[in-house]
A and B are shown apart, each in its own frame.
Chain A
Amino acid sequence: MRFPLAFAAAQLCAGIAVAQEIPPSERRSGTNFMSAETQAIQADDGSNPGMLWVLQGGSLWDEPAGASRRSCASCHGEAATSMRGVAARYPAFDAASGASIDLAGKIDQCRMTRQHATSLPRESEELLGLTAYVGHQSRGMPIAPPDDARLDAARAEGKRLFQTRMGQLDLSCSSCHDANWRGRLGGSAVTQAHPTGYPIYRLEWQTIGSLQRRMRGCMVGVRAEPFAYGSAEFVALELYLAERAAGLAIETPAVRP
Chain B
Amino acid sequence: MSVAKHKFRVGRRGLILVGGAGLLVLALPPARALTRPSLQEAVNGFTGGTPVETGKVKLDVPPLVENGNAVGVTVTVESPMTAGDHVRRIALFNEKNPQADVAVFTLGSRAGRARIATRIRLATSQTLIAVAELSDGSYWSSSANVIVTLAACIEDLS
Interface of A toward B, CB cutoff 8 Å: 1, 5, 8, 34-35, 37-38, 40-41, 185-188, 203-206, 213, 216-218, 220-221, 257
Task: Tell me if A203 and B70 are in contact (CB < 8 A).
Answer: yes
Within 8 Å CB of A8, what residues of B? 152
- Besides A35-B65, A257-B67, 20 new A-B residue pairs in contact (Cβ under 8 A), listed by A number: A8-B152, A34-B66, A35-B66, A37-B62, A37-B66, A38-B66, A40-B72, A41-B70, A41-B72, A41-B119, A186-B152, A187-B152, A188-B66, A188-B151, A203-B67, A203-B69, A204-B154, A206-B70, A213-B155, A221-B155
Task: Tell me if B66 and A187 are in contact (CB < 8 A).
Answer: yes
Residues 58-77 of B at the A interface (beta carbon under 8 Å): 62, 64-67, 69-70, 72
Interface of B toward A, CB cutoff 8 Å: 62, 64-67, 69-70, 72, 119, 149-156
Within 8 Å CB of A218, what residues of B? 153
Q: How far is the CA of A32 from the CA of B150 in the complex (A)?
A: 19
CB distance from A3 to the nearest CB of B (A): 10
CB distance from B14 to the nearest CB of A (A): 51
CB distance from B66 to the nearest CB of A (A): 4
Q: How far is the CA of A38 from the CA of B149 in the complex (A)?
A: 14
Task: Tell me if A217 and B155 are in contact (CB < 8 A).
Answer: yes
Knowing A187-B66, A203-B66, A257-B67 are in contact, say whether A37-B152 is a contact too (CB < 8 A). Answer: no
Task: Tell me if A37 and B67 are in contact (CB < 8 A).
Answer: no
Knowing A35-B62, A37-B62, A204-B155 are in contact, say whether A186-B149 is a contact too (CB < 8 A). Answer: yes
Q: How far is the CA of A5 from the CA of B153 in the complex (A)?
A: 10
Q: How far is the CA of A186 from the CA of B66 in the complex (A)?
A: 11
CB distance from A107 to the nearest CB of B (A): 24
Q: How far is the CA of A204 from the CA of B154 in the complex (A)?
A: 8
